[in-house]
Structure 1
Amino acid sequence: MSHSQTDHIKIFDTTLRDGEQSPGASMTLDEKLKIAEVLEAMKVDVIEAGFAIASNGDFECVKKISEQVKDSTVCSLARAALGDIDRAAEALKPARSPRIHTFIATSPLHMKVKLQMEPAAVLEAIHHSVSHARRFVDDVEWSAEDATRTDLDFLCKAVDTAIKAGATTINLPDTVGYGVPEEYAAMFKHVIENVVNSDKAIFSTHCHNDLGLAVANSLAAVNAGARQVECTINGIGERAGNAAMEEIAMAIKTRSDIMPVTTKIETTEIMRASRLVSTVTGFAVQNNKAIVGANAFAHESGIHQDGVLKNAETYEIMTPESVGLSRSVLVMGKHSGRHAFADKLKELGYELGDNAFQECFKRFKALGDRKKNIYDEDIIALVDDEVATAENKIQVMSLNTYTSSDGRAFSDVTLSIDGKDRKTVVYGAGPVDAAFNAIKALIGFYPHLQLFQVHAVTAGTDAQAECTVRLEDDGYLVNGQGAHEDTVTAAARAYVAAVNKLIVKKEKRAPGHRVDSVQKTG
């Protein structure tokens, strides 16, 4: 089907901004750059890289992503304050296609309680903030925070003010996940029909999932005239999360019969993006999650299996290949050589340097000696773990754990710290506790363990374990991941990965520009 320019839906990804506001989802600069690279490969239209005024770290992130990204628009969030906008503009200077996204609350509750401003003052702030942003960039987005609880007449006045001041995109977010599809669509239709110059801007959705309706609300708004959808990978975000980008993209692609619109999203990159975000944040994707869950293309019922074997369309409305999955089961083994391993890495979307490739191949062969069946998921976990730890100052060199039936255990751990091996033997209440105690004894400080999570990469008793550890120390909160066929070793690697992040954060601590409290949109 041929579509006109107005039938294109822009995908605005806010994984790096709103997604990172999920408690515990803080990402390092390198991790954000990797995610931005994958988002650009997916052909995301707009990447919201951060909130430049929030901290020096966020500013640096927006700046570095602006330098790296070539094809997507790079966006920074800013409140309706001139200092916020100036800071965003400075961070976006290197971007080929920069956007400033400014916002202010418009609902009676937010204006009275949070802003303590009269409606007339809010309209004035909209005019000043948008017009100020236009001094720096041609692409300005304005958001009406808590739009779904805003008086419609006032919302129209606010939108009209923003467009007259130079806003090219108008976002009407369901900030608290309060809306339902019919109501949300009616709001868009009313504003588009009643704002005289509404044709001069693209209307955008930004939905939270508090009632489980974020994707449904976003698609309802598309049918009502919205031409940009704001979303995140795996639906991560504050509280119950945001509309999931993979669900939006595949719903539009699969149901083009009732939504005659298109996106530019390269859907075959979806699984790669999902796995990367899950690994970086430590937020495991639930098995029954649409599109990217482990069970999304799995069939256990005999009736379903029979139907799929006869014709996959009986129970699959999209193909696994369309989202970047492979139907192959056993594709690699201990007899596979470097050439086959390199081809498999390319198929899975990895490009490694010589040293990283050699280390990964060595671990792959070792895994093949211990594990009968090697799946794509095994290789992904292995490579992600190796790449994440390759440059760390502290690395796990060896680990031997001994346990008894009374629960006592001791761990013999050797760490490489700044190139020098250090070893200790420490007791604990179980093997993982003993390993963690040994690591703490070697590093010389004692971070607080906030989360310890384990899941099997594949099925079977010989499956690799993928562990996530969340540590807090001195006001910093970090996640670490590790994978290994031995669960205790995977846990130790995850703990050490988190420790390395803590050390980097502490080394970078320096007095500078900082805002302790910022209001958030969306």
Structure 2
Amino acid sequence: MQYYISHYNKEPELNFPDEITVYDTTLRDGEQTPGVCFSPEEKLEIAKKLDEVKIKQIEAGFPIVSKKEQESVKAITSEGLNAQIISLSRTKKEDIDAALDCDVDGVITFMGTSDIHLEHKMHIGRQEALNTCMNAIEYAKDHGLFVAFSAEDATRTDLDFLKRIYNKAESYGADRVHIADTTGAITPQGITYLVKELKKDVNIDIALHCHNDFGLAVINSISGVLAGANGISTTVNGIGERAGNASLEEVIMSLKLLYGKDLGFKTKHIKELSELVSKASGLPVPYNKPVVGNNVFRHESGIHVDAVIEEPLCYEPYIPELVGQKRQLVLGKHSGCRAVRAKLNECDLDVSDDTLIEIVKKVKKSREEGTYINDDVFKEIVKSCNYKKE
């Protein structure tokens, strides 16, 4: 058995779309994390690993930003990956031309549509914004691109105007529209309502680009597709502006195991991908980060370890190998005899029951005094208990 999930998950009636596209924006929105700048080589390596995981669409960058950014995106499009390569562009002809020069398959063109964005950032009215967006969509479609139109700050945009601009985008040939929860300011119930309202009038694909300011990016994404959207934007390790974006690994594994929606990803490469992005970004993965954190499959508490030794799924919802992780039994203050005995077996050491008890006491004492019990420390403790290999 590879996983053991609550049987209550099967009780609610869920209506997922037949097809859900996960498009990853680690190389664009992830790189907008303050202080992060991927080299062209790092971008290509990450793109190749995303392709190995079987991501359908990779948002490779924002070509208009710089000449080197264009070179990075072009290197990815030249690699012959299976994924569709898309890039970001403002609603400007020069942005779309820069994307075309990179030979991308498509673009996400965007504009802030909320009144606060229009007034304080764009300094234009709704009609001018609508006209500008349609001109960009038309220009990109005329050049044979897949086109997604993203309403920035959509979750704080007037609903009637949002419907109007999405309907217009559809009439101009857009392939998909994006709901950008730019400040992470919507709830799962709110995104459910919004998607259902939009589905009454919008007849093309709807994708969700959720930020994590309140820790709701993943559940908002899942709630959105349950309401009828069929695209989710993610980043590896959930990196991105401020609190980041919906975490790729959390979205994939939640859909696969909790909701029974397997999208065909090669999940065994998830840990490798996480480590690659962490190294390139310089952002360490928190030890308690779901799916990819170092502590997710580590156990110390004696009560837990006893059960895990006999049946790991007592304290793990799925086996670590599913995501390229490994189980670890950690010795410390909470360790008991079974954990120490397991460690002794791992080190090919055998001791009497009396010596075992003595080792357990010294392990607890050493950890409480501030010493981390790695293999070398453990062997020294064993040696101090007058262990002699026969």
TM-score bracket, normalised by the shorter chain, equals 0.7 to 0.9
Q: Quote the Cα distance in structure 2 between the aligned partners of 1:69 and 1:187.
A: 37
| Map of 1:21 onto structure 2 | 32
RMSD: 2.2
CA displacement at 1:20 relative to structure 2: 0.5
Deviation at 1:302, TM superposition (A): 2.2
Q: What is the distance in 2 between the residues matched to 1:39 and 1:33?
A: 10
CA drift at 1:262: 3.2
Contact 1:290 1:296 in 2 (8 A): yes
- Please give the alpha-carbon distance, in whole angstroms, between the structure 1 residues aligned to 2:229 and 2:299: 36
**Partner secondary structure for residue 85 of structure 2:** strand
C-alpha separation between the residues in 2 aligned to 1:216 and 1:5?
14
Partner of 1:317: 317
Alignment equivalent of 1:221, drawn from 204, 207, 224 = 224
One-letter code aligned to 1:81: K
Q: Whole-Å Cα distance in 2 between the matches of residues 227 and 213 of structure 1?
A: 18
Partner of 1:292: 292
Deviation of residue 123 (structure 1)?
Answer: 1.2
1:8 is the counterpart of 2:8: no
2 CA distance for matches of 1:117 and 1:123? 10
> Which position in structure 2 is the counterpart of 1:470?
none
Deviation of the 1:185 alpha carbon: 1.6
How far is 1:6 from its partner?
4.3
The residue correspondences of 1:112-127 to structure 2 (distance < 5 A) are 112-127=119-134
* Alignment-derived partner of residue 230 in structure 1: 233
Higher strand share: 1
Letter in 1 for 2:153: D
Q: Is the 8 A contact 1:40 1:71 kept in 2?
A: yes
Report if the CA contact (8 A) 1:36-1:69 is conserved: no
2:266 is equivalent to residue 255 of structure 1: no
Q: 1:459 to 1:112 in 2, by over 3 A?
A: farther
Q: How does 1:358-507 map to 2 (within 5 A)?
A: 460=374
What is the SS of the residue equivalent to 2:181?
Answer: coil
Task: Work out the CA distance in 2 between the residues paired with 1:8 and 1:292.
Answer: 26
- 1:375-413 CA-partner distances (Å, limit 9, x unpaired): xxxxxxxxxxxxxxxxxxxxxxxxxxxxxxxxxxxxxxx
CA contact 2:191–2:223 (8 Å) conserved in 1: yes
Cα gap change, 1:90 to 1:328, in 2 (>3 Å): same
In the alignment, which residue of structure 1 is the partner of 2:211? 208
Matched residue, 1:46 = 57
Q: In the aligned structure 1, how far is the partner of 2:252 from the partner of 2:33? A: 22
Q: Any idea what SS the aligned residue of 1:172 has?
A: strand
2:169 equivalent in structure 1: 162
1:132 to 122, 139, 148: 139
Letter in 2 for 1:284: P
Question: Cα distance 1:83–1:269, how it changes in 2: closer, same or farther (>3 A)?
Answer: same
Which position in structure 1 is the counterpart of 2:269?
269
User: Which of 171, 195, 200 does residue 178 from structure 2 map onto?
Assistant: 171
Return the alpha-carbon distance in structure 1 between the equivalents of residues 184 and 328 of structure 2: 39
Amino acid at match of 1:222: V
Partner SS state of residue 58, structure 2: strand
Q: How far apart, CA to CA, are the structure 1 residues paired with 2:255 and 2:149?
A: 25
Give 1:8 shift: 2.4
**Which TM-score applies when normalising by structure 2?**
0.79
Q: CA deviation at 1:461?
A: 8.3
| Letter matched to residue 174 of structure 2 | A
Q: Matched residue pairs, number?
A: 324
Unaligned runs of 5+ in 2: 1-14, 330-346, 348-371, 378-390
Unaligned runs of 5+ in 1: 330-372, 374-457, 464-522
Cα deviation code 1:180-201 (max 9, x no counterpart): 11101211111111x1xx23x2
Which of 132, 144, 148 pairs up with 2:151? 144
Structure 2 counterpart of 1:56: 67
Shift of 1:314: 1.8
Distance 2:233 2:376 in 1: 41
The corresponding residue for 2:107 is 100
Counterpart-to-counterpart distance in 2, 1:159 and 1:324: 40
What SS does the aligned partner of 2:303 have?
Answer: helix
| 2:54 partner SS | coil
Identity %: 40
- Give the letter for the 2:300 counterpart: E
Contact 1:214-1:243 within 8 A present in 2 as well: yes
Q: Secondary structure at the match of 1:68?
A: coil
State how far apart, in whole Å, the 2-side matches of 1:50 and 1:125 are: 22
> How high is the TM-score relative to the length of structure 1?
0.60
Q: Is residue 196 of structure 2 the alignment partner of residue 180 of structure 1?
A: no
Partner of 1:87: 98
Cα deviation code 1:128-161 (max 9, x no counterpart): 1111110123411110000010011110001101
Contact 2:54 2:266 in 1 (8 A): yes
Q: What's the offset of the Cα at 1:256?
A: 2.6
Counterpart residue identity of residue 98, structure 2 = R
What CA distance in whole angstroms lies between the structure 1 residues aligned with 2:21 and 2:223? 15
Corresponding position of 1:494: none
Give the deviation of 1:462 after TM superposition. Answer: 6.7
How far apart, in 1, do the equivalents of 2:312 and 2:47 lie?
A: 34
SS of equivalent residue, structure 1 residue 15: coil
